[in-house]
Structure 1
């Protein structure tokens, strides 16, 4: 019977024993029970899951007893033999006895879990009796939980707490982790982590653990809210934008919560909303700087501006002429071709009329002449196309040249009449001033493009414009008296009459001869021999009396000459 069992029997026999004997038995029991006992420190243990727990205890027993067996048991039941934990498969690998089995009964229980939450007692057996220490050690196993707000605004302070379901027995040193990485040198003796002036980099998954323990709490997510940052614009495509293409601009930003409000600006002008801005059939008018504005409930921010360079072929091609616009023969003239294109045109061609005359944006003509007058245009070209300019006309000014005088009529006039002389010239602008001179006279005898000469002499003209003058060659004008003119006129008339009369007479003589020969041939079928002179059929006409010999004896009727100026024979 154990000491405990002996005590119970003694209490049951108290009513039957005499008073003196009862007193003696009580005193014996107190002395005996005073040397039996188990002491635990502490009586309650709060341990973290997966940690190791030390249950410290010492025990005493009466002198003369010999320890036969020691072990720990859980949740002992009165009246039942408690089991030895070291023989329980769930504990055999995790339970380690650290005592000496004489006085120290300390043990270590490793990798505790919620299943290990029990009341544990030490029991020892001597060669005389058995003893189970009461009240034992109560073990509570807890996990760790991080308590943190879901979100905090950038710049504010926030406190995170590593919580357990019971007060940890050991003096705990906490270790904190962010995104599974330990926070450098952040070991707090209390269970709180204070983040001051929170930055967006402080956002993440936070967990805690006890120094020296492998268990790490589940992570709690801390969200740091902040206004948009790192706002930028990206352009889709290859980067080469040609007029007519479709272009998409995308606005990106870093913010929490994500920005849902986006605005687009070209320069300072609002052009659209939304994270994506589309331009279909882009033109050069869309060229310029674009930026977007990103906004959430904590603030807003503009991007860095991006520039759209829209490529397009030449247009608005034009030609400019340097100088005052008045071009005089002998001047140097520069034509400049200008155009609007992207990229700028580097290929220029020049044409006079339809003929190619040169290349380059600038076309120089040194010592210009009237041959250079005409329409000029240039052609501007880049890799996207080409275009011609409108034609510009070069008007080359030059003084009169090729000055000449023309005479209406023969230039011979009767005294008292006049002959008109006309002065012509080639000049630009046309000559408007004409001066007339008579040779050997220094002063002008007349002005105007036409001049009426009243006397004989050699005359010339000078043509003038604002660029110079030139004189013509001289022409001769002859003035005759009235009698000379009359004699000349009569002679001319008489001569004409003689010529006309001779022509009429010759024609009649030819007809008469032809008739006479026809009669002779008809009357003489057999031709007589005649002298060779008879073969001559053409009469010889002289300005004398007609007298023809007849080589043959043929009767010839003399012709009658009428309306002639010759004497008859």
Structure 2
């Protein structure tokens, strides 16, 4: 990039010599756990020993700003590449590394700084966002996005996981997942990561898909069919039970009616029984 577009105000040392400090970029976005190198370019090599990096502390309630030596922070080192470039490197970035960094002449610790811009470093995490929400109905359009609080480079590649399994997505759809329409088999646990050697993962997002639209209509139709079938089935069962009861009743009455008939037949032939008895006595 053209450093002239990002030129800072002139810095002047105690010896009266002045130099101009430039930066590659005014704003840098980096992931937690990664590293960053912030180069500063100055015009006068004779001032190289007088320039140091500071983290700026700007208070909205007070005029001006104070500064903390960047070297006092964790995982920070100062690298002099040549006589016109000074680079600040920070490893294993944390959220508290976010802030403004400036290359300027040595000043006292926590002294006031002139209101000149430095480089804004923003350290971000990765998370999954769901639009319209993480709880939707079948048939809706759902968009899942692997997001950061600041924009990464356009060439960033994202990796998606569904129920702890890696998803194979087309290259033009690696930052977003779109379901249109969404269905019940899309429900589950989603997470994403930025494809770097560190593989910074997001937390898990749960997508819940409720029955809706067409599914509810089908369910209502099935309920209606069941309700319509209940009366004829009940009538048929009742009819079968009545027929069975009638058949059982008819069989019992025949058995009961036969018994009196037998008794009556025996009562009508007493003389025959007497003759039979007399014949048996004569024989004896």
Normalised by the size of structure 2, how large is the TM-score? 0.55
Task: Note closer, same or farther for the CA distance 1:168–1:265 as it changes in structure 2 (3 Å cut).
Answer: closer
**SS at structure 2 position matched to 1:105:** strand
**Structure 2 equivalent of residue 110 of structure 1:** 91
Q: Give the unaligned 5+ runs of structure 1.
A: 8-31, 126-131, 229-253, 272-284, 287-314, 320-388, 394-569
1:204 is aligned to 188
- Unaligned 5+ segments in structure 2 are 1-10, 107-112, 239-246, 259-284
Q: Which of 25, 37, 40 is residue 57 of structure 1 equivalent to? A: 40
Deviation at 1:138, TM superposition (A): 1.2
Matches within 5 A, 1:31-430: 33=18, 36-62=19-45, 65=46, 67-68=48-49, 71-75=52-56, 83-86=68-71, 88=72, 90-91=73-74, 94-97=75-78, 99-123=80-104, 135-145=117-127, 146-150=129-133, 151-168=135-152, 171-185=155-169, 188=172, 191-212=175-196, 214-226=199-211, 268-269=229-230
Distance, in Å, in 1 between the alignment partners of 2:179 and 2:163 is 16
C-alpha separation in 1, matches of 2:82 and 2:50: 8
The CA distance in 1 between the partners of 2:151 and 2:138, in whole Å, is 33
Over the residues paired in the alignment, what is the CA RMSD in angstroms?
A: 4.9
Kindly indicate whether the alpha-carbon contact (under 8 Å) linking 2:159 and 2:174 is maintained by their aligned counterparts in 1: no
1:402 alignment partner in structure 2: none
RCO comparison, higher one (Cα < 8 Å, 6+): 2
Change (3 A) 1:265 1:75: closer
- Specify which structure has the higher proportion of strand: 1
Question: 1:106 offset after TM fit, Å?
Answer: 2.6
TM-score (norm 1): 0.31
Question: 8 Å contact 2:12–2:105 — kept in the other structure?
Answer: no
Alignment partner, residue 398 of structure 1? none
* Aligned residue pairs, count: 219
Which residue of structure 1 aligns with residue 4 of structure 2? none
**Higher helix content, 1 or 2:** 2
Q: How much has 1:137 moved relative to structure 2?
A: 0.8
The residue aligned with 1:434 is none
Return closer, same or farther for 1:55/1:102 CA change in 2, 3 Å cut-off: same
1:143-168 Cα deviation digits (max 9, x unpaired): 34413223444344322233433333
SS at match of 2:185: helix
